[in-house]
Amino acid sequence: MIRLRPTHLRTRLTLWFVSALAGLLILGWGATVAILFRQLQSQLDHFAIQEIETVEGLMYFTPQGELQMHEDYHNHPESKDVIDRFLEVLSPGGAVLYRNDRLGERRLGGAPFAGEGVGGYSVRSERLADGTRVRMVSRLHSLDGRPLLIRLAHSEEPLWSRIDELSLASLLALPLVLALAGFAGYGLVRRALRPIELMARRAQEITPQRLHERLPNNNADDELGQLARVFNETLARLEQAFEQLRRFTADASHELRTPLAAIRSVGEVGLQKDGTRAEYRDIIGSMLEEVNRLTSLVDNLLTISRADAGSLQLERVPIPVMQLMRDAAALFEVLAEEKALTLTLSGDEAAAVRGDPLFLRQAVVNLLHNAVKYSPAGGTISARVGGRADKVTIEIEDGGPGIPAEDRPKIFDRFYRVDKARWRESGGAGLGLSITKWVIEAHGGGVELDREITSGCLFRIQLPRDSPL
């Protein structure tokens, strides 16, 4: 089945409005008619009761025992035709004793029901044999000691025809009213929706290059103002994300350019002169070193971009933290020995977290690597595992030169390096800490650089503790 559905909101709103109005009008009209009809009917009833009173006084029995009606009270004979009542008199057993001329041979209602007209008036609607709708009142009356059931009715047909006329008139007026209301409603809806249209047009003009633009917000309190505000907030976030991406791309290109420039210079210089075999090997080797640097840079960038895109799947397995730390520390044993560093590891053997072993290992390896890299020969690096009921804390402290206070907030930023000149020999692109930060945060934890410490660095990782259940 094809459902017709207007595409424009204003058309839809107008249609809803018009149909609601039509429904209400019909309902109101129906109620009015019903009330009017009831009122007219009760007038009719009242009239009938008065007439019964009159009729009772006019009835008499002929000496033959026939029931008759005095009709000689009319001043003019034609007045008889004015009388529009239907009259039937029955015996309590149902035998017809009298029917007036107007009624003729038609029956007025069926057999008498129990208690009809006793001690008052029974009022009901009936239909004559020829279909005429009547309003009938009956009353039990006693004449010359004989009980008589008087039934008196008036035609309801004039009432009905009045109602029909009224209906017809309303039916003719309804479309006109609805059309007028529709037009007015359409105009109103269009005016109400106009700000949305404007907003849509403005929003359409906002391209990635023009993200700083905002939607107009004239009335912040109404619904449209709220919509504009929410939209503007989204735009602000989008702008920020774009800005981040732009900066990241710029930084990444810069980082990629550095090894590329080295490859190029070394290659070009190498080609300019005739060298020995050993010299050429050296040149190629030097170029390959830069290639390795590029490769690891690209690998790191790839990890970061996957992390940003949320496409990295993290495992969730229980990991004993001391084990993780021992593993990571073991990697640097040789380096530490070479630099005569003391690497100590202490803490809670029972501490466990839930997460991805590879990524978490990478995270602590990066921190340990930094500690080993920046510690002076003969220094001490201590790693401690501790924590509270719901948290595991890993602290890694070194006795290196530390990080200047003004640089501390930036150390987790991508491509940030404390010592810009020295990175090439120590071999990092400033991505390690940002990867660590991402990994820890992806595990629901946090990593920070202690602010209090005055010498060296103290990194503190907090992770949710894995409950043994």
CA triple 459-462-466, angle to 5 deg: 145
Map residues 329-358 to x or -, x wherever contact with other proteins holds by CB under 8 A: --xx-xx--x-------------------x
Tell me if 281 contacts other proteins by CB under 8 A: yes
Supply the minimum distance, in Å, between the C-beta of residue 204 and other proteins. 36
Tell me if 422 contacts other proteins by CB under 8 A: no
Q: How many CB atoms lie within 10 A of CB 386?
A: 15
DSSP 376: P
Supply the minimum distance, in Å, between the C-beta of residue 443 and other proteins. 16
Tell me if 369 contacts other proteins by CB under 8 A: yes
DSSP 410: G
Identity at 450, one-letter amino acid code: D
Supply the minimum distance, in Å, between the C-beta of residue 378 and other proteins. 16
Tell me if 187 contacts other proteins by CB under 8 A: no
Cβ 336 vs Cβ 343: under 8 Å? yes
The number of angstroms, rounded, from the C-alpha of 142 to the middle of its chain's C-alpha atoms is 77
Question: CA-to-CA distance for 427 and 293, rounded, in angstroms?
Answer: 8
Map residues 374-413 to x or -, x wherever contact with other proteins holds by CB under 8 A: ----------------------------------------
Q: Which is nearer to other proteins, 238 or 269 (CB)?
A: 269
Residue ranges of alpha helices (H) inside 107-156 are none
Q: Where are the beta strands (DSSP E) in 57-118?
A: 59-61, 67-69, 86-90, 96-99
Cβ 461 vs Cβ 447: under 8 Å? yes
Cβ 97 vs Cβ 90: under 8 Å? yes
Q: Which stretch binds other proteins (CB under 8 A): 79-87, 234-242, 267-275, 363-371?
A: 363-371
Tell me if 222 contacts other proteins by CB under 8 A: no
Q: Which is nearer to other proteins, 250 or 288 (CB)?
A: 288
Tell me if 428 contacts other proteins by CB under 8 A: yes
Name which of residues 17 to 56 contact other proteins (CB under 8 A): none
Question: CA-to-CA distance for 121 and 153, rounded, in angstroms?
Answer: 12
Q: What does the binding site for other proteins look like in residue numbers (CB under 8 A)?
A: 278, 281-282, 284-289, 291-292, 295-296, 299-300, 302-303, 313, 331-332, 334-335, 338, 358, 361-362, 365-366, 369, 373, 427-428, 432, 435
